[in-house]
Amino acid sequence: MGAAAPAAARRHSRRRASGALEGEVLAVLRRAGAPLTPREVQGRLSGGLTYSTVVTILSRLHGKEVLTRTPRGRAYAYAPVTDEAGLAARRMRRILDEVPDREVVLARFATELPEGDGRLLRALLD
């Protein structure tokens, strides 16, 4: 019984968090530069994820509107909606959409920026 526990602990410690898996899948799609099917994504990922796991990750990212998908044969081919900076901007916009007082949130955000980022933001807005 004692020998099984260390093996289970090793298996559990090798598991990646859902967000890490999503990041890996996104990185594969960005590097590809063209839409990929789940099987193509699976082949480019390290770590031996099952096909169903890859499909689940792609479906979740599509549901979050991070990926587009188009039919290709009997599967879908997936591609990122935008680059990493665009995704960060979309997340920030979604957060603003969820709060009742955008002005307060934006003011707090701007005042808490490091000085260099504050200058950059002012320059972008001018």
3-state helix, strand, coil in the chain (%, to 5): 65, 10, 25
Q: What is the pLDDT of residues 2-44, one digit of tens each?
A: 555 454 444 444 566 668 899 999 999 999 989 999 999 999 9
Q: What is the pLDDT of residue 14?
A: 55
pLDDT tens column, 44-84: 998 788 999 999 999 999 999 899 999 999 999 999 998 88
Q: What CA–CA distance (Å, rounded) separates 77 from 115?
A: 43
The DSSP string of 59-78 is HHHHHTTSEEEEEETTEEEE
| CA terminus-to-terminus distance, the chain | 67
Element holding 79 (H helix, E strand) = strand 75-80
pLDDT of residue 11: 45
Q: Would you state the pLDDT for residue 20? A: 85
pLDDT at 84: 84
For the entire predicted model, the pTM comes to 0.67
> Counting every residue, how long is the chain?
126
Which residues does residue 20 pair with via DSSP β-bridges, in sequence order?
A: none
